Amino acid sequence: MVPNGIQSWMLANAAAALAGAAASSALGSLGPSLVTASVAMALCWLRYGPERGWRVGLANLVTAMRLFAVLFVLVVAADSGIWVGAVAALVYAFDGVDGWIARRRGETSAFGALFDMETDSHVVMLCCVYLVVAVGYGPWVLAIGALRYVYVLARWALAVRDVRERRTSFGRILYSLVSLGLAVGCVAAWRPWAEPLVAAAFLALVWSFTPDFIALGRSRSLDDRVERGRLESDAPAPNLEASEHVR
């Protein structure tokens, strides 16, 4: 079971990631996004990890190291698109390794799955911010990293309880394609042919997320109908005797 309070953290994390990306784009600096990603994931690790007997485990360490590698290269080698792209590609290539380790070592947990998902989201967002700030892509690239966070906030805003995020094989393939586009896009010299690849990745991601947003709307509508039915069933029965006197 996921630790208590993690939903509140997910909402704060999504809002902070979006705010950090917007601030980085406006200021032309990687700083805000680097800070929000570092602080949010550190709080997740320290606050919710130890609950319910959770232990660090090798799998979760691998997940944390993937995020640390991206943060590190963006701090020490942001001027080298080759280095940033190479590290990003390596981090993307290792996606799934942590899950394989967890299954092999009996370290699977709901927290580990969530920690991996949030790490993937931050890595994608950081790469998007890098493309805008350091390579010169338009702010539209931020939408690639923002889609998942918008989904998290939309689920909360609509008060949808029963819709969960999907983790499908197709989604993994799409994530790999998006990751490849972002990694290649980090190299400024490759931008003429990398930008169409990034744009295609964005359109593919929008197509992938569309059913999830539609499911949110349908679930909200269903919840509304269920609630109306409950209110109607709880309403007091009409006073037939009183109605006879009115006649």
Q: Which amino acid is at 189?
A: A
- Which pLDDT value is given to residue 207? 87
pLDDT, one tens digit per residue, over 102-128 is 889 888 888 888 899 999 999 999 999
Inform me whether the pLDDT recorded for 169 exceeds 60: yes
Domain 6-236 class, CATH top level: mainly alpha
Q: Which amino acid is at 170?
A: F
The residue with greater pLDDT, 147 or 226, is: 147
The residue with greater pLDDT, 231 or 59, is: 59
User: Mean per-residue pLDDT for 10-14?
Assistant: 95
pLDDT, one tens digit per residue, over 88-100 is 999 998 888 988 8
For CA atoms 63, 52, 171, 159, the dihedral sign is: negative
- Which pLDDT value is given to residue 6? 83
Position 29 confidence tier, pLDDT thresholds 50, 70, 90: very high
- Which pLDDT value is given to residue 71? 97
- Which pLDDT value is given to residue 67? 95
- Which pLDDT value is given to residue 246? 35
The residue with greater pLDDT, 226 or 32, is: 32
pLDDT, one tens digit per residue, over 200-246 is 888 988 888 888 888 888 876 655 555 555 544 554 544 434 333 33
Q: What is the pTM of this model?
A: 0.84
| % residues pLDDT > 70 (the chain) | 81
Position 168 confidence tier, pLDDT thresholds 50, 70, 90: low
Nearest C-alpha neighbor of 130 from the set 39, 20, 209: 20
- Which pLDDT value is given to residue 223? 52
User: Mean per-residue pLDDT for 79-84?
Assistant: 95
- Which pLDDT value is given to residue 151? 92
